[in-house]
């Protein structure tokens, strides 16, 4: 049996691609302000793997990094600011021992939930639909609400990945790219439903 045709080699090839993609993403995120373009590039690559069976990494990564730079850079900066504000709010609430903090905590939790739900679809939408940053945020929120069960599954998956990263930091060498692949796979289901809804709406409007 030729080892190049074996399932073991196929698995090894996929894992090496995940590792290479993960490495490029981590290096690209080092300046912090490039987190958005780096993440968009990573999602662009896994989209190619999922939809077009294109297993190349380096060429596609830099292509998507460049193609989606403007909108993903703006979103990345905005998301860093929002994340920092949410963190500071939770930090100060933790220091507050009065009962008033629960009045603030409830809306803060809701805002955090909507933020995470929108984030779950954001970079998949940027790479899949080639939209500007405003449309990406708006459509991410809409799809997150319409496909609530899928959104819950994505958030649970991301929570599990976060827990694994905390307890097994070494998995950061490959887990980010695997998480992006699973995330896009789930988002793609929601996109198909979204496109069906839009098609029905357009047909109804035409009639």
Residue position matching structure tokens 């958030």: 155
pLDDT digits (tens, 9 = 90+) for 136-191: 999 999 999 999 999 999 999 999 999 999 999 999 999 999 999 999 999 999 89
In which element (H, E) is residue 40 found?
helix 35-47
CA dihedral 171→13→49→148, nearest 10 degrees, is -30
Judge whether residue 64 has pLDDT over 80. yes
| pLDDT bucket at 90, cuts 50 / 70 / 90 | very high
Percent of the chain with pLDDT over 90: 72
Range of the domain at 171: 3-206
Judge whether residue 19 has pLDDT over 70. yes
CA distances from 130 to 21, 64, 106, 142, 207 (A): 21, 11, 35, 17, 29
Q: 67 vs 7, which has greater pLDDT? A: 67
Its pTM stands at 0.89
| pLDDT bucket at 4, cuts 50 / 70 / 90 | low
Provide the pLDDT for residue 164: 97
Q: Which residues in 119-128 are b (16+ Cβ under 10 Å) and which e?
A: bbbbbbbbbb
Provide the pLDDT for residue 162: 95
96 SS3 class: coil
Q: Which residues contact 45 (CB under 8 A, 6 or more apart)?
A: 21, 57, 60, 61, 64
In which element (H, E) is residue 169 found?
none
Judge whether residue 207 has pLDDT over 60. no
| pLDDT bucket at 130, cuts 50 / 70 / 90 | confident
| pLDDT bucket at 43, cuts 50 / 70 / 90 | very high
For the chain, what is the total number of helices (H) and then of strands (E)?
8, 0
In angstroms, the CA 57 to CA 45 distance is 7
CA dihedral sign, ordered 105, 176, 132, 129: negative
| pLDDT bucket at 126, cuts 50 / 70 / 90 | very high
| pLDDT bucket at 3, cuts 50 / 70 / 90 | low
Provide the pLDDT for residue 168: 96
Domains: count for the chain: 1
């Amino acid at each position: 049996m030729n080892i190049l045709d074996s399932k073991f080699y196929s698995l090894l090839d996929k894992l090496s691609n995940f590792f290479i993609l993960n490495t490029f993403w981590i290096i690209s995120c080092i300046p912090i302000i490039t987190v958005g373009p780096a993440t968009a590039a990573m999602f662009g690559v896994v989209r190619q793997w999922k939809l077009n069976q294109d297993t190349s990494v380096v060429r596609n990564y830099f292509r998507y990094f460049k193609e989606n730079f403007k909108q993903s850079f703006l979103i990345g900066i905005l998301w860093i600011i929002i994340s920092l504000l949410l963190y500071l709010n939770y930090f100060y609430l933790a220091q507050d021992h009065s009962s008033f903090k629960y009045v603030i905590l409830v809306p803060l939790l809701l805002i955090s939930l909507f933020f995470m739900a929108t984030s779950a679809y954001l970079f998949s939408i940027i790479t899949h639909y080639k939209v500007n940053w405003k449309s990406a945020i708006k459509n991410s929120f809409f799809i997150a609400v319409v496909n609530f069960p899928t959104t819950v599954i994505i958030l649970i998956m991301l929570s599990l990945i976060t827990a694994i990263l905390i307890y097994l930091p070494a998995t950061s060498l490959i887990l980010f790219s695997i998480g992006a692949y699973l995330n896009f796979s789930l988002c793609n289901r929601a996109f198909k439903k979204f496109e069906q809804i839009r098609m029905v709406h357009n047909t109804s409007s035409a009639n």
